[in-house]
Chains A and B, each alone.
Chain A
């Protein structure tokens, strides 16, 4: 069965922009989206910076979200919904021309961030705001889709898992379109204190230095927030409506490390297994990979083990493959990281440009790959992978190819 899965719609909301175009332009420019947190009072917190979505989101979202829905949704759910609305609009999909039973929504969501950061929180609508299926439900309702809508939770790999599941749903022949992605925010006192307790967050409050993946002075990740939507469509459907195709999702791998609730398996063995499985599942040879969008969290262990894994998979060629971390610019968007970084990977193929790893100023002797330091690079990208790894040992690698 030849049922290729194409990406025909994209959008993201990040600390560097409220849409795909502005976020991507700023990521290519190597802009830093990490700033002092304004969403909450950070008095007394060890970590006081984050990749926070611009305050202008509130006014922007009002153009999409009616009063009734606004009262029943959190800021993060609104981000996901607005992101999806724009992704669908730009994809030129008219659901009236589709069998709605063959259209689904699968999102990666950790939670809806119905926490102390939510302004004007009362007990009213607590359930509707807090239910983890809210984002997929609102998107499904918007377009009156009759296929399944649901949420996948695997921490920082959640939206990468959603994309993988969406791929299989279309591949099975049962669906034409799956709206995938997710949204997340950890910018609230409870989560910041919790991650500080785990020594996972950077305590460097200098935005120009804190999120420093692959740098010798990295000391933990920086919190980010945002949303990303990737519309997956069967080749047959995309060709029928002459859709714009950004890239092909060639395959993926989802694995578990079976090792530790927080730490990655030593020497990157689990990561290595995940990347190798993804390439095999996608019928892509290691020598075909032109770019790696790394999980690259700026933590000691992740960056070391991810580097070790890349060396094991690609051998000597590892040193010639550009590897970069989007988190250096927008922080760690957790449940949304898989899709946002997947989108960045797709755009590297679509635009022929590899975004940089910023804040990479001090070389670590053990980290000696080409991390595309500080400046983007023009390059024809035919095949690229995006990695996501999570507490709990949830690993995912997505494989994207130029559609030809």
Chain B
């Protein structure tokens, strides 16, 4: 808790967009909230795990992978926008994510 400020969402968004742009070799301008990670970017599930590690380090998050997995089962992430939203919730709620 308390790790969110007015700049956090834009920071998260920038990291996510840059990550997918580099890993999928696409121009960042072609990525939007509605971009599908699998069908549009040919991404894979490992990318989500790699991003989790990036955000855990950057925001010193206390969150277990099983917590995230439980949340994702109930709230699947398919688009870049959903991914940014999920990362924001992780930062905001950490292990309490499971109770959402």
Task: Provide the residues of chain A in CB contact with B25, threshold 8 Å.
Answer: 66-68
Which residue from chain A places its CB closest to the CB of B26 in the assembled complex? A66
Task: Provide the residues of chain A in CB contact with B22, threshold 8 Å.
Answer: 67
A94 to B65, CA, bound (A): 41
Residue B43 CB within 8 A of the other chain: yes
A128 to B42, CA, bound (A): 17
Classify chain A's interface size.
Answer: under 10
Residue B24 CB within 8 A of the other chain: yes
Find the residue from A67, A68, A72 having the highest chain B CB count within 10 A.
A68
Classify chain B's interface size.
Answer: under 10
Task: Provide the residues of chain A in CB contact with B23, threshold 8 Å.
Answer: 67-68
A67 to B25, CA, bound (A): 7
A67 to B42, CA, bound (A): 11
- Chain A 63-77, CB within 8 Å of chain B: the 1/0 string? 000111000100000
Q: Is the interface of A mostly helix, strand, loop or mixed?
A: helix
Which residue from chain A places its CB closest to the CB of B50 in the assembled complex? A124
In the assembled complex, the CB of A66 is this many whole angstroms from the nearest CB of chain B, namely 6
A66 to B22, CA, bound (A): 11
Task: Provide the residues of chain B in CB contact with A67, threshold 8 Å.
Answer: 22-25
Residue B44 CB within 8 A of the other chain: yes
A66 to B42, CA, bound (A): 10
A25 to B22, CA, bound (A): 39
A66 to B47, CA, bound (A): 15
In the assembled complex, the CB of A144 is this many whole angstroms from the nearest CB of chain B, namely 11
Scan residues 40-85 of chain B and give those whose CB is less than 8 A from a CB of chain A.
42-44, 46-47
A66 to B44, CA, bound (A): 13
Scan residues 188-231 of chain A and give those whose CB is less than 8 A from a CB of chain B.
none
Scan residues 54-97 of chain A and give those whose CB is less than 8 A from a CB of chain B.
66-68, 72
In the assembled complex, the CB of A115 is this many whole angstroms from the nearest CB of chain B, namely 22
Task: Provide the residues of chain B in CB contact with A66, threshold 8 Å.
Answer: 24-25, 42
A66 to B24, CA, bound (A): 7
A182 to B20, CA, bound (A): 32
Which residue from chain A places its CB closest to the CB of B44 in the assembled complex? A68
A128 to B43, CA, bound (A): 15
Task: Provide the residues of chain B in CB contact with A128, threshold 8 Å.
Answer: 46
Instruction: For the A-B complex with A68-B42, A68-B44 known, give 14 more contacts whose Cβ atoms are closer than 8 Å.
Output: A66-B24, A66-B25, A66-B42, A67-B22, A67-B23, A67-B24, A67-B25, A68-B23, A68-B24, A68-B25, A68-B43, A68-B47, A72-B46, A128-B46
9 A–B contact pairs at CB < 8 A?
A66-B24, A67-B22, A67-B24, A68-B25, A68-B42, A68-B43, A68-B44, A68-B47, A128-B46
